[in-house]
């Protein structure tokens, strides 16, 4: 027992240190984050910036000239209590990068520790669990910390399965609370449908492979409910509550007020979150695997998003081919194989069938996520279990040990021949093959114990990733650019910086038919119209300033009229604003003046003055003081969106949709106080309530775990 604890801390500690060493270039910010990790960094920063000053950010004025923030909140999982903890060191003066880098490292290892505990539950062997922990830690899942936000749902998914198994075994309250809490996180982080698929397929195959255990589980669950009805009801209520934000967002997406053309351009349903089958099937599991193979032949080319497991696991896989199988192995194999089939839409029509018949399959597109989320950890559990069975099979039998030694030598020689045939340049791979052979020979000859074997496996596992991630660090660009979120300041800025719009690169061999060039990733539906129809530079120039005061207003129907008219007006900087015909009312008729009766250009506000200044602002609210000599029409170049309200001298007034995509109000002459406010008060109450509820539930769960830890 003592030995196992010592080895755990030794190997565990070394694993953390070596992993940090491998990724030091990224953790020290000598190389930038890549791909979706950039968005994660940005949106988390935006969230923490606001939460730390007591503002719940439902609106993001920095994205696409103002967009609802619900989508990005869903991505980061805003109710996760661990995210709130980030605000503390940040408020205490630590740089955001230091906080962020510490958090992603911590969260990754939280997932890995969860995996160790899960492996212990599954394999019932500490040595094997430790090996599984090291293998997963050094797999390329670690690279995804810096190029995606997959860890935000990987970690809770791992812990979910751990608590599920513990609950199945012990029927303890803390385990139920733990799995419920993981579900709560997964329901509010990114798209919950990946988890639905994982959980449902797990249940299905578990039922098939373990019918008796499933029956027993149900029986014990009923007994547990009888014993703890209120606790169970609380858990059910918590799960139900976690559906609320997702459900509200889903409903909002059905109204079509925001646009996600990259995802939805041809989906054939009303809901903008829905995904056309072609989009989802374009990049699935076999594509990810083949792409990865391109890089693995020569580790010097190693790059992000390459699916990689230390070569030792492949040796274990082959060595375990002739071990006796058991139901655990069969279950892991069948479950993983099914997900592989589902994620191979061009090979078998499983996904096609599910996309047509199961509603939520229309709402997620990254089929290759199942490779990382399930197949990778399953593969590692599978090979480690095989290895355990391999040693069990030959234990205390000299003849079998001798046969096993021949087999081990044959497998290693075959592997070396394969490397030679593939002209492999990977020195570390050769080193692992040689060391692995020596280690196996030593253990089969009885020179070293199994504990030493498993301990030394750490070196064999780590050698190759150290080389791979060294090359990764060298191959990535070292160009570091500050994002618009890095540059954001608490003070109100009257103008926008250079980066207001996200450009999406779409150069592609196969892209000949459907996708438009540079579609908007996310924005209001009206801003998307401008994006598609107005010259990019004209739009950028126009939106550089946030406030423009016009003397003339006319109606404009973007459904019937050409948006080039608007573009021309902006090019000429004409003193003319447009609003939809249905919004033209008596107050504005006065501003429907002839062009020659007013100044040629509008009054553009680039800085504060006595006549116009912002007195208070946060991302959801902005308050202005104005002193004008004549009536004007104020266009606030921040996205128009349902939920925004305008107030003039604290009285509600009509908010117009000005210049197709922005906010506008009629501003009478004289001193006025104008306020724009986003979101109904109940929305904030719901969000804050959920935030508090998650925090309390988490605290309660930890307390319960502490109480029951020795039961």
CA distance linking residue 345 with residue 640, whole number of Å: 40
As to burial, measured by CB atoms within 10 angstroms (0-12 exposed, 13-18 middle, 19+ buried), residue 532 is middle
Token match 């020179």: residue?
Answer: 447
Residue 502 DSSP class? -
Q: Which stretch binds other proteins (CB under 8 A): 226-234, 278-286, 431-439, 597-605?
A: 278-286
8 A C-beta contact, residue 153 and residue 198: no
Q: Quote the tokens at residue 44.
A: 């988390």
CB nearer other proteins, residue 77 or residue 345:
345
Q: How far is the CB of 283 from other proteins (least distance, A)?
A: 6
- Contact indicator for 648, 83 with CB cutoff of 8 Å: no
Stretch of 179-187, 265-273, 318-326, 372-380 contacting other proteins, by CB under 8 A: 318-326
**Which of 282-290, 443-451, 465-473, 546-554 is the region at the interface with other proteins (rule: CB under 8 A)?**
282-290
**What is the bridge-based pairing of β-strands 553-555 and 577-579?**
parallel
Q: Strand, helix or coil at 169?
A: helix
Q: Decide: is 324 part of the binding site for other proteins (CB under 8 A).
A: yes
Distance, CA of 631 to CA of 412 (rounded, Å) = 85
Q: Which stretch binds other proteins (CB under 8 A): 325-333, 515-523, 616-624, 629-637?
A: 325-333
Rg (CA), the chain: 29
Three-state SS string over 364-389 comes to CCCCCHHHHHHHHHHHHHHHHHHHHH
Q: Which residue's CB is nearer to other proteins, number 257 or number 518?
A: 518
Binding track over 488-517 against other proteins, x by CB under 8 A:
-------------------xxxxx------
Residue 668's nearest CA partner among 695, 648, 698 is 648
Residue 139 or 323 with smaller CB distance to other proteins: 323
Are 463 and 431 in contact by the 8 Å Cβ rule? The answer is yes
Closest CB to other proteins among 58 and 299?
299
Distance CA(202)–CA(508), nearest Å, equals 36
**What binding mask, one character per residue, do residues 103-132 give for other proteins by CB under 8 A, x or -?**
------------------------------
User: Applying CB under 8 A, which part among 142-150, 279-287, 633-641, 677-685 lies near other proteins?
Assistant: 279-287
Q: How far apart are CA 594 and CA 513, in angstroms?
A: 46
Stretch in the footprint of other proteins (CB under 8 A) among 136-144, 314-322, 535-543, 614-622: 314-322
Residue count, binding to other proteins (CB under 8 A): 28
Residue pair 439/453 in contact (Cβ under 8 Å)? The answer is yes
294 forms part of the interface with other proteins (CB under 8 A): yes
Least spacing, CB of residue 321 vs other proteins, in Å: 4
Nearer to other proteins, 8 or 282 (CB): 282
Interface mask toward other proteins for 329-368; x: CB under 8 A: xx--x---x------x-xxx--------------------
Listed residue (141, 335, 319, 252) closest to 522, CA to CA: 252
Choices 56-64, 327-335, 564-572, 583-591 (CB under 8 A): range interacting with other proteins: 327-335
In this chain, which of 234, 244, 301, 702 binds other proteins, going by CB under 8 A? 301
| CB of 415 vs other proteins, minimal distance in Å | 17
**Minimum distance from CB of 178 to other proteins (Å)?**
32
Q: In this structure, what are the phi and psi dihedrals at residue 211, rounded to the nearest 5 degrees?
A: -65, -40
Q: Which is nearer to other proteins, 252 or 323 (CB)?
A: 323
**In the complex, minimum distance from the CB of residue 38 to other proteins, in angstroms, rounded to a whole number:** 18
In this chain, which of 325, 487, 565, 592 binds other proteins, going by CB under 8 A?
Answer: 325
Quick one: which of 107, 275, 119, 284 has its CA closest to 193? Answer: 275
- CB of 168 or CB of 320, closer to other proteins: 320
Nearer to other proteins, 348 or 358 (CB): 348
> Is the CA virtual torsion 442, 447, 449, 452 positive or negative?
negative
Is 386 among the residues that bind other proteins (CB under 8 A)?
yes
564 near other proteins, rule: CB under 8 A: no
At residue 295, φ and ψ (nearest 5 deg) are -90, -30
HSE-CB for 362 with a 13 A CA cutoff: 16
Instruction: Supply the DSSP symbol for 362.
Output: G
Examine residue 322 and tell whether it contacts other proteins (CB under 8 A): yes
395 binds other proteins (CB under 8 A): no
Shortest separation between residue 574's beta carbon and other proteins, angstroms = 30
User: For residue 700, how far is the Cα from the chain centroid?
Assistant: 26
Q: Which is nearer to other proteins, 410 or 600 (CB)?
A: 410
- Choosing from 143, 172, 201, 323, the residue that interacts with other proteins (CB under 8 A) is 323
Q: Least separation, in Å, of the C-beta of 517 and other proteins?
A: 11
Smaller CB separation from other proteins, 301 or 450: 301
CA–CA separation, 546 vs 297, rounded Å?
Answer: 52
Nearest Cα to Cα of residue 41 among 103, 100, 107, 102: 100
Could you tell me the smallest distance in angstroms from the CB atom of residue 132 to other proteins?
17
Residues 6+ apart with CB under 8 A from 311: 429, 432, 433, 464
We find the least distance from the C-beta atom of residue 236 to other proteins, in angstroms, to be: 38
Residue 282 near other proteins by CB under 8 A: yes
Residue 167 vs 307, nearer CB to other proteins: 307
- Terminus-to-terminus CA distance in the chain, angstroms? 18
8 A C-beta contact, residue 315 and residue 250:
no
Pairing of strands 621-628, 670-678: antiparallel
Q: Which of 290, 358, 414, 600 binds other proteins (CB under 8 A)?
A: 290
Nearest CB to other proteins, comparing residues 507 and 710: 507
Residue 480 in contact with other proteins, rule: CB under 8 A: no
Q: How far is CA 447 from CA 130, 387, 439, 711, in A?
A: 22, 18, 9, 39
Neighbours of 149 (CB within 10 A): 23
In the complex with other proteins, the residue whose CB is nearer, 202 or 333, is 333
What's the rounded Cα separation, in Å, for the pair 471 and 287?
23
Structure tokens belonging to residue 116:
């160790």
Stretch touching other proteins by CB under 8 A, among 35-43, 134-142, 284-292, 614-622: 284-292
Q: How far is the CB of 490 from other proteins (least distance, A)?
A: 38
Could you list the residues that contact other proteins (CB under 8 A)? 282-283, 286-287, 290-291, 294, 301, 320-325, 329-330, 333, 337, 344, 346-348, 386, 507-511
């Amino acid at each position: 027992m003592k030995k196992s604890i010592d080895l755990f801390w030794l190997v565990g500690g070394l694993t953390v240190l070596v992993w940090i060493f491998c990724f030091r270039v990224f953790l020290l910010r000598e190389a930038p984050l890549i791909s979706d990790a950039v968005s994660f960094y940005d949106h988390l920063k935006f969230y923490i910036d606001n939460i730390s000053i007591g503002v719940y950010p439902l609106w993001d004025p920095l994205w696409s000239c103002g967009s609802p923030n619900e989508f990005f909140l869903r991505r980061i999982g805003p109710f996760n209590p661990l995210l709130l903890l980030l605000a503390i060191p940040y408020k205490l003066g630590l740089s955001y990068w230091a906080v962020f880098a510490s958090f992603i490292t911590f969260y990754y290892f939280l997932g890995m520790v969860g995996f160790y505990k899960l492996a212990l539950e599954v394999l019932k062997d500490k040595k094997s669990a430790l090996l599984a922990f090291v293998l997963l830690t050094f797999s390329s899942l670690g690279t995804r910390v810096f190029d995606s936000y997959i860890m935000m749902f990987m970690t809770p998914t791992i812990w979910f399965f751990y608590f599920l198994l513990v609950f199945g075994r012990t029927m303890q309250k803390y385990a139920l609370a733990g799995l419920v809490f993981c579900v709560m996180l997964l329901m509010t982080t990114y798209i919950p449908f990946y988890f639905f698929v994982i959980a449902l397929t797990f249940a299905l195959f578990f039922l098939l492979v373990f019918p008796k255990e499933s029956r027993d589980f149900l029986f014990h669950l009923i007994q547990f409910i009888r014993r703890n009805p209120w606790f169970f009801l609380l858990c059910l209520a918590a799960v139900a509550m976690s559906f609320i934000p997702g459900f509200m967002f889903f409903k909002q997406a059905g109204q079509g007020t925001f646009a996600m053309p990259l995802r939805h351009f041809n989906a054939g349903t009303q809901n903008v979150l829905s995904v056309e089958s072609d989009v989802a099937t374009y990049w699935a599991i076999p594509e990810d695997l083949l792409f990865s193979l391109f890089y693995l032949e020569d580790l010097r080319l190693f790059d992000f998003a390459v699916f990689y497991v230390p070569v030792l696991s492949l040796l274990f896989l082959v060595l375990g081919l002739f071990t006796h199988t058991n139901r655990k192995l069969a279950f892991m194999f069948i479950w993983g194989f099914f997900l592989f089939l589902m994620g191979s839409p061009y090979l078998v029509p499983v996904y096609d069938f599910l996309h047509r018949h199961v509603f939520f399959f229309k709402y997620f597109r990254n089929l290759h996520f199942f490779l990382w989320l399930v197949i990778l950890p399953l593969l590692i559990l599978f090979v480690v279990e095989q290895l355990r069975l391999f040693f069990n099979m030959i234990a205390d039998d000299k003849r079998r040990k001798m046969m096993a030694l021949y087999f081990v030598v044959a497998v290693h020689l075959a592997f070396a021949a394969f490397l030679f045939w593939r002209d492999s340049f990977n020195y570390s791979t050769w080193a692992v093959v040689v060391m692995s052979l020596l280690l196996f020979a030593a253990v089969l000859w009885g020179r070293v114990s199994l504990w030493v074997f498993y301990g030394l496996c750490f070196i064999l596992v780590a050698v190759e990733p150290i080389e791979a991630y060294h090359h990764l660090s060298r191959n990535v660009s070292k160009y570091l650019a500050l994002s618009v979120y890095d540059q954001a300041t608490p003070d109100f800025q009257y103008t926008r910086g250079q980066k207001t719009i996200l450009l999406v690169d779409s150069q592609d061999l196969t892209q000949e038919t459907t996708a438009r060039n540079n579609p908007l990733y996310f924005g209001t539906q009206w801003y998307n119209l401008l994006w598609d129809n107005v010259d990019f530079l004209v739009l950028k120039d126009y939106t550089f300033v946030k406030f423009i005061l016009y003397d003339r207003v006319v109606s404009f129907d973007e459904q019937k009229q050409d948006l080039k008219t608007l573009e021309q007006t902006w090019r000429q900087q004409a003193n003319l604003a447009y609003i939809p015909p249905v919004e033209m009312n008596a107050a504005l008729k006065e501003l429907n003046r002839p062009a020659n009766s007013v100044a040629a250009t509008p009054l553009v506000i680039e800085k504060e003055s006595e006549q116009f200044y912002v007195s208070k602002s946060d991302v959801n609210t902005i308050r202005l003081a104005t002193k004008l000599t004549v009536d004007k029409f104020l266009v606030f170049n921040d996205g128009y969106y349902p939920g925004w309200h305008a107030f003039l001298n604290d009285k509600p007034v009509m908010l117009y949709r000005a210049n197709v995509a922005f906010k506008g109000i009629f501003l009478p002459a004289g001193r006025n106080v104008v306020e724009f406010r986003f979101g109904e008060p109940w929305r904030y109450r719901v969000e804050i309530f959920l935030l508090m509820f998650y925090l309390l539930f988490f605290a309660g769960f930890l307390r319960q775990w502490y109480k029951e830890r020795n039961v």
